[in-house]
Amino acid sequence: MTQKLDITVHDASGLHPVTLDVTRVYNLGFTIRDRAQMQRHLDEVVGVSVAWPEKPPVIFPISCWATLITDDVPVQYETTSGEIEIVMIKQDGKLFVTCGSDHTDRELEKTDIPWGKQVTPNIFAPTVWNWEEVKDHWDQVEMESYVDGELYQKASVAEFWSPDEIVRSVQGRIPESEGATILFSGTVVSVNGVMDFGLNWSLRMTDPVLDRTIRHDYTVTVLSNEIDI
């Protein structure tokens, strides 16, 4: 299955529309450099200790149809939440970076992590940067997420492996495919260490060197709340 998604590449020469032919999507885990911080996030999300894998990152394949560029996210239950992640897009020999949210059903995630991720969509911003233009100052880029208007997460991308490192880490572990492959980096603990289940999510990625910001907002609709039983 191929999912066609329209993005805009923001580079030194301006804004350029590109259509992605998405063939593979993977959500990754254990890409945070600080193991203690990684464990704090795991405790926040699933409330259990998880052994560091012998060969990080952990890779969760996600269906292409569950990966969207949208501002409207329908879910079944209220216990879902978003987060800020680095998103890497490989297509036609090029690497693009942007921010996204691995929106997840947190109750289901406690017992089945892949299903908790699969039943809610991966969201990413439609504006992307060319990796070649930002890689030399990448560690200065900052990310934030907000829920219902309140700061939820704040992190430097330097807390994660670089996009180059992440791409290399999955080589030979995922199939080579024609079209676009999208990787979600995983995320960091929230600013107050508490999981939040709000409805209005905002993602920001800021490059202070090139004075650019990617922002994407989306709203969650809890479908079960619309039914009169």
Strands 94-102 and 127-130: antiparallel
Cα torsion 11, 16, 21, 27 to 10°: value is: 40
**pLDDT of res. 110:** 82
Confidence category of residue 37, pLDDT binned at 50, 70, 90: low
How confident is the model at residue 144, as a pLDDT? 97
Identify the band that residue 40 occupies on the pLDDT scale cut at 50, 70 and 90. low
Say whether 107 sits in a helix, a strand or coil: helix
> Is residue 69 situated within a structural domain?
yes
Residue 219 belongs to a domain: yes
Q: Confirm whether 110 is domain-assigned.
A: yes
The CA distances from residue 147 to 83, 130, 135, 174, 191, in Å, are: 9, 28, 29, 33, 12
Q: Count up the domains in the chain and report the number.
A: 1
Domain assignment present for residue 75? The answer is: yes
151 is a domain residue? yes
Q: Which domain holds residue 196?
A: 3-224
Of the pLDDT bands very low, low, confident and very high (cuts 50, 70, 90), residue 38 is low
Residue 229 covered by a domain: no
User: Tell me: the pLDDT tens digits for 69-80?
Assistant: 999 999 999 999
Report pLDDT digits (tens) over 105-164: 988 888 888 899 999 999 999 999 999 999 999 999 999 999 999 999 999 999 999 999
CATH number reported for the structural domain that contains residue 162 in this entry: 3.90.850.10
In a domain, 48, yes or no: yes
What is the token pair recorded at 112? Answer: 């089945």
Model pLDDT, residue 28 = 95
Strand pairing category for 104-105 and 94-102? unpaired
Tell me which residue of 58, 41, 125, 110 sits closest to 79, measured CA to CA: 110
Cα 182 from Cα 162, distance rounded (Å) = 15
Give CA separation, 161 vs 94, 101, 166, in Å: 19, 17, 6
Q: Determine the pLDDT at residue 88.
A: 98
The 10s digit of each residue's pLDDT in 159-202 is 999 999 999 999 999 998 889 999 999 888 889 888 889 999 99
φ, ψ (nearest 5 deg) of residue 220: -95, 135
Average pLDDT over the chain, rounded to an integer: 91
pLDDT at 223: 93
User: Is residue 44 pLDDT above 90, yes or no?
Assistant: no
Q: Which stretch of DSSP H or E encloses residue 86? A: strand 85-91
- Does residue 37 form part of some domain? yes
Q: Is the pLDDT of residue 225 over 80?
A: yes
pLDDT in tens, 83-112: 999 999 999 999 999 999 999 998 888 888
Average pLDDT of the segment spanning 53-76? 92
Residue type, 53: P
Higher pLDDT residue, 195 or 204?
A: 204
Residue 32: Cβ within 10 Å count: 23
The single residue listed with the structure tokens 């492996």 is 161
Residues near 168 by beta carbon (within 8 Å), at least 6 away in sequence: none
